[in-house]
Chain A
Amino acid sequence: MPQLPESKQKVKFYQTGTFTVGNRLLEQDQRTVQATIDRSNSLDSGHRACQGCGEALGARFAIDAAMRATNNQLIAANATGCLEVFTTPYPETAWSIPWIHSLFGNAAAVASGIAAALKVKGRNDVRVIAQGGDGGTTDIGFGCLSGTFDRNDDVLYICYNNQAYMNTGVQRSSATPAAARTATTQPVGDEPGNVFNTGKSVPLVAIAHQIPYVATASVHDLHDLELKVTRAMQIRGARYIEIFVPCPLGWGSLPGDTIKIARYAVECGMYPLLEGEYGEITAVTKIRRRVSVADYLKLQRRFAHVFKPGNAHQLEQLQAIADRNIRRFDLISREGDI
Chain B
Amino acid sequence: MLKQIEGSQAVAQAVALSRPEVISAYPITPQTHIVEDLGMMVKSGELSPCEFLLVESEFGALSACIGSSAAGARSYTATSSQGMLFMMEAVYNASGMGLPIVMTVGNRAIGAPINIWNDWSDSMSARDAGWIQLFVETNQEAVDVHIQAFKLAEELSMPVMVCMDGFILTHSYSQVDIPSQELVDRYLPPFQPRQVLDPSAPVSMGAMVGPEAFTEVRYLAHHKQREALKLITEQSAEFAELIGRDSGGLLKEYDSAGKETVVVTMGSVIGTMKEVLAGMREEGHSIGALTVRSFRPFPIEALQEALKDARRVIVFEKSLAVGMGGILANDIRMATRGLNLEVHSVIGGLGGRPITRANLRRMFEKGLNDQLNRIHFHDMRMDVVNRELEREKAQRLSGSAAENILSDVGMVAAAKTI
Contacts and interface: CB of A to CB of B under 8 A. Distances in A.
Interface in A63-78: 72-75, 77
A21 to B, nearest CB: 35
Interface stretch (A84-92, A233-241, A269-277, A278-286): A84-92
A126 B49 CA distance: 18
Contacts of A90: 204, 207-209, 213
Interface string B183-208: 00000000000000111111111111
B49 A120 contact: yes
Interface in B57-104: 57, 59-61, 63-73, 75, 89-90, 93, 97
A114 B206 CA distance: 15
B263 interface: no
Contact of A116 (B57, B73, B204): B73
B205 A106 contact: no
A105 interface: yes
A310 interface: no
Nearest to B207: A88
B210 interface: yes
Interface in A139-160: 143-144, 146-147, 150-151, 153
A89 B204 contact: no
B384 to A, nearest CB: 40
Nearest to B203: A98
Contacts of A97: 199, 202
Contact of B55 (A93, A98, A109): A109
Contacts of B5: none
A95 interface: yes
B155 to A, nearest CB: 20
A88 B71 CA distance: 19
Contacts of B54: 151
A77 B63 CA distance: 11
A72 B202 CA distance: 11
B56 A150 contact: yes
Nearest to A130: B67
Nearest to B51: A116
A110 B63 contact: yes
Given A89-B207, A93-B207, A97-B202, A120 B55 contact: no
A97 B61 CA distance: 25
Interface of A: 2, 72-75, 77, 84-85, 88-90, 93, 95-103, 105-106, 109-122, 126, 143-144, 146-147, 150-151, 153
A117 B199 contact: no
A147 B59 CA distance: 11
A117 B67 contact: yes
B24 interface: yes
Nearest to B71: A117
A89 B89 CA distance: 20
Contacts of A2: 200
A96 B204 CA distance: 8
B49 A100 contact: no
Interface string B376-395: 00000000000000000000
B165 interface: no
B84 to A, nearest CB: 16
Contacts of B72: 117, 121
Contacts of A112: 53, 55, 60, 64, 67
A102 B64 CA distance: 10
B73 A121 contact: yes
A111 B80 CA distance: 24
B210 A147 contact: no
Contact of B53 (A72, A98, A113): A113
B68 A114 contact: yes
A120 B22 contact: yes
A121 B50 CA distance: 9
A118 B71 contact: yes
Contacts of B210: 89
Given A117-B68, A117-B71, A147-B55, A102 B63 contact: yes
Given A75-B71, A120-B22, A143-B56, A98 B202 contact: yes
B82 to A, nearest CB: 15
Contact of B59 (A85, A115, A144): A144
Contacts of B122: none
Given A100-B205, A101-B205, A77 B67 contact: yes
Given A89-B208, A100-B205, A143 B64 contact: no
B21 interface: yes
A106 B73 contact: no
List 6 A-B pairs, minimum CB-CB distance, nearest first.
A113-B67, A147-B56, A113-B64, A109-B63, A117-B71, A117-B73
Contacts of A105: 59, 89
Contact of A146 (B21, B49, B56, B66): B56
A146 B49 CA distance: 26
A287 to B, nearest CB: 37
Contacts of B206: 100-102
A303 B116 CA distance: 51
A99 B199 CA distance: 9
A122 B50 CA distance: 11
Contact of B199 (A75, A100, A113, A150): A75
6 contacts: A75-B199, A90-B213, A100-B197, A106-B90, A109-B59, A110-B64
Nearest to B23: A116
A120 B66 contact: no
Interface string B349-361: 0000000000000
A113 B206 CA distance: 16
Contact of A113 (B71, B93, B204): B71
Contacts of A75: 71, 197-199
B64 A88 contact: no
A158 B53 CA distance: 22
Given A100-B205, A116-B68, A106 B63 contact: yes
A18 to B, nearest CB: 30
Q: Which of B50, B68, B90 has the most CB of A within 10 A?
A: B68
A133 B175 CA distance: 52
A74 B64 contact: no
Given A98-B197, A103-B90, 20 more contacts: A77-B67, A89-B207, A89-B209, A90-B204, A98-B198, A100-B205, A102-B63, A102-B93, A109-B60, A113-B66, A114-B68, A114-B70, A114-B71, A114-B197, A116-B51, A117-B21, A117-B51, A121-B49, A146-B56, A153-B53
A168 to B, nearest CB: 14
A323 B133 CA distance: 59
Nearest to A125: B199
A117 B68 CA distance: 5
